[in-house]
Amino acid sequence: MDANAIGKSLARLPHFQGLDAERLARIIACSRLKTYSSGESVFIQGETCRAFFVIESGGVRLYRLTADGKQQVVHDLQAGQSFAEAAMFQFGLYPVHCDATEAPTELIEVDADRFLRLFREDSRIAEIMVGSLCQRLFRLVSRIEELTVVSASARLARYVLNLPSSGPHPIEVELPFSKKHLAGHLSITPETLSRLLTKWRKRGFLESQGRRLIVHHVDTLEAIADGAKL
């Protein structure tokens, strides 16, 4: 992947939208592309932060390990998303583990030390980056509220309704990752996810064909998303 291709990917990121070509070129000079296989570690919790990352293709899982060695999923991320900025700015250490979840997964790695120098020297880069991270923080606060207050069925319904769909009726959506990873993303067990999908399928709300879901009753799913118990 050449510098022009990396530049196009970085320019689409909210962190860098609106930057002129000269500033973007400086960030490109701090960046490189690296390919990972499925299950390969990108970094481990407590490791010194060497870079933040933009997903060019594939996906990653951010997680912590419990005392008994089980994964506690923090986030499943897909192409077009970035991660590990907070580690670069504040902690100096990665606060979670990160593994690639697809093969291949291509990550643009932006060198932390070199980018921080640009950030401190150029107020325009800093302004856009901080604004983008503030918007992400607001979204994370909403997600925390959802995970602690909203039921498993409502979380699943909201997730399905927010996926890009064909329509208008019935709508078809494609899950961006496996049902096991989806369960982790929603902070529910795979068994709970399977029970919900089976229940909805038996009631005729939707069909499930691998990662493809066909929703026949959008209004019913919207009611579940709003907290209705059906």
Domains by residue range for the chain, with CATH: 3-148 (2.60.120.10), 150-225 (1.10.10.10)
Extract the tokens encoding 134: 């503030």
Rounded to 5 degrees, φ, ψ at 212 are -95, 130
Rounded-to-integer distance, Cα 138 and Cα 211, Å: 29
| Confidence (pTM) | 0.68
Per-residue pLDDT at 116: 93
Write the single-letter amino acid at 56: E
Q: Tens of pLDDT along 106-151? A: 999 999 999 999 999 999 988 888 887 777 776 666 666 666 657 8
Q: Tens of pLDDT along 39-79? A: 999 999 999 999 999 999 999 999 998 888 888 888 889 99
